[in-house]
Amino acid sequence: MRVLVSGGAGYIGSHTVLSLVAAGHDVVVVDDFSNSKPTVVGRLEALSGVHVPVHAIDLTDAAKTERLFAHEQIDAVVHFAGLKAVGESVAKPLEYYRNNLDSTLSLLEAMRHHGVHRLVFSSSATVYGEHAPVPYTEDYDRLSSSSPYGQTKVMIERIMADVAAADPALRVALLRYFNPVGAHPSGQIGEDPQGIPNNLMPFIAQVAVGRRDKLTVFGDDYPTADGTCERDYLHVEDLAAGHVAALEHLDDMVTPVRAFNLGTGTGTSVLAMLQAFERAVGRELPYEVGPRRAGDLPAFWADPTRAQTELGWQAVKTIDDMCADTWRWQQANPQGFPDA
Ligand code: UFG
C-alpha cells in the first residue's frame, strides 16, 4: 500500500515510517514540523534505504490537504499529526481543538473526495477518563478525558465513527496507546521534546545525559505498591508494529470502526522505571519527591487481549529494552535532532 503518514516526522510517526517500509509499504509523509525537525527525514532515508517523500504542510489548511491528495496516489492514511501536551492543552484549549479537529476534518474530507477508505488513528488511553475499571478494555463506552488534549481524541474517535457510519467503504482502526517510550535500536531516531519534557522517560534521559539536574517524582503517596504512579510503558518499536498490523487488518475487521488498546498489560511505577534506567546507564540518577501533578491517575494499564487475538499483535520488548534504547539515542544525540 501507499500510505500517507501524517505527523511522520514526529516521535511515533518516524518509527512507524520505518516499520511500514520494512513491511513493504510505500510511505508519504506530511508534517508541518511544528514539533519535529526536518533532519529526521535524512535519518529515516538512511535507515530505511528508500526515498521518503515529504510534504511540509499544515493539515488544518483544507485546500493544501486536498492538493496533496490530488498529487499523490494514496491507499491508506495513518494519522498521527496533532498537538499532544496535556498541560499545554489546559492553558490553550482553543489551539488544541482548532488544530486537532480541523486537521482531522481536512484529512477525512480529502479521503472521501479521493476514495481513500483505510484509516489508522493515533488515539490514547486518555479516552478512558477517570472512572474506567483497570485494566482498560475497548468496550468501555463512557469515554471522556479531563484535558482538552484528551477530549480531542474522544471527539475525533466519535467523528470517525460517524463518518464511517455514513460511508460503508470506510475502515478505521482507533489505536489507543498507553505510554510509548524507547527509541530505534540504532540510536538514530528517538523522542526529542522541545523545551522541558512533560513525560517521564525523556525527562529521566535528560537527567542521565546531564541536561537536567534531577528528576522530580510527582508524588509518592498514591495507593500503589511503592506509592508512585503506575503506567503501562511500551516500546515505540512494538507500537509501530501495532500500526502495521492494524493497517494490514483493516479490510478484515469485525466492525468497520474498531478500537484497539496497544499496551503490554502490565503497570510499572515511576521509581521502578527510574531504577531500570539506572541499570541501563550503570549509575544512580538524582531525584527528589515532589507534590502530585494535577490530573494524574494512580495506576492504569491495558487489557491488550483484543489486539492479540484480532491483530495478532503483542508487545515483546521489556522495560530494560526500552531504557537501553532510550539511553543509546540520548547519548548519541544529547541535544536531540540537529537543526540542519
Ligand atoms: N512523572 C514524574 N516526573 C516527571 C514526569 C512524569 O514523576 O517529571 C510521572 C507522572 O506523574 C506519571 C508518570 O511519571 O505518574 C508518567 O507520566 P507521563 O507524563 O510520562 O505519562 P502520563 O501517563 O501522564 O501521560 C500519558 C501520555 C498522554 C496521555 C496520558 C493519559 O503522555 O498523552 O498518558 O493517558 F494523555
Structure confidence by residue, pLDDT tens digits, 40-65: 999 999 999 999 999 999 999 999 99
Cell representation of residue 319:
522495560
| Ligand 1 centroid, distance to 199 Cα (angstroms) | 5
Q: Which numbered atom of ligand 1 lies nearest the CA of 153? A: 36
Instruction: Give buried/exposed letters for 92-115 (b at 16+ CB in 10 A, else e).
Output: beeebbebbbbbbbbbbebbbeee
Cα–Cα distance measured from residue 182 to residue 320, given in angstroms and rounded to the nearest whole number: 10
| Ligand 1 centroid, distance to 198 Cα (angstroms) | 7
Active site residue 97: no
| Ligand 1 centroid, distance to 54 Cα (angstroms) | 31
Pocket around ligand 1 at a 6 A CB cut-off:
84, 86, 124-126, 150, 179, 198-200, 203, 215-218, 229, 231, 270, 293, 296
Task: Find how far residue 266's CA is from the centre of its chain.
Answer: 18
Q: Which numbered atom of ligand 1 lies nearest the CA of 204? A: 8
Q: Which domains does the chain have, with CATH numbers?
A: 2-181+233-265+303-316 (3.40.50.720)
Cα–Cα distance measured from residue 175 to residue 124, given in angstroms and rounded to the nearest whole number: 7
Q: Which amino acid is at 214?
A: K
pTM of the complete model beyond 0.95: yes
Structure confidence by residue, pLDDT tens digits, 82-134: 999 999 999 999 999 999 999 999 999 999 999 999 999 999 999 999 999 99
Which residue puts its alpha carbon closest to atom 14 of ligand 1? 200
> Pick the catalytic residue: 11, 149, 177, 222?
149
Beta-strand relationship, 230-231 and 268-269: antiparallel
Q: Which numbered atom of ligand 1 lies nearest the CA of 147? A: 36
Structure confidence by residue, pLDDT tens digits, 197-243: 999 999 999 999 999 999 999 999 999 999 999 999 999 999 999 99
**Rg over CA atoms, the chain:** 19
| Ligand 1 centroid, distance to 297 Cα (angstroms) | 9
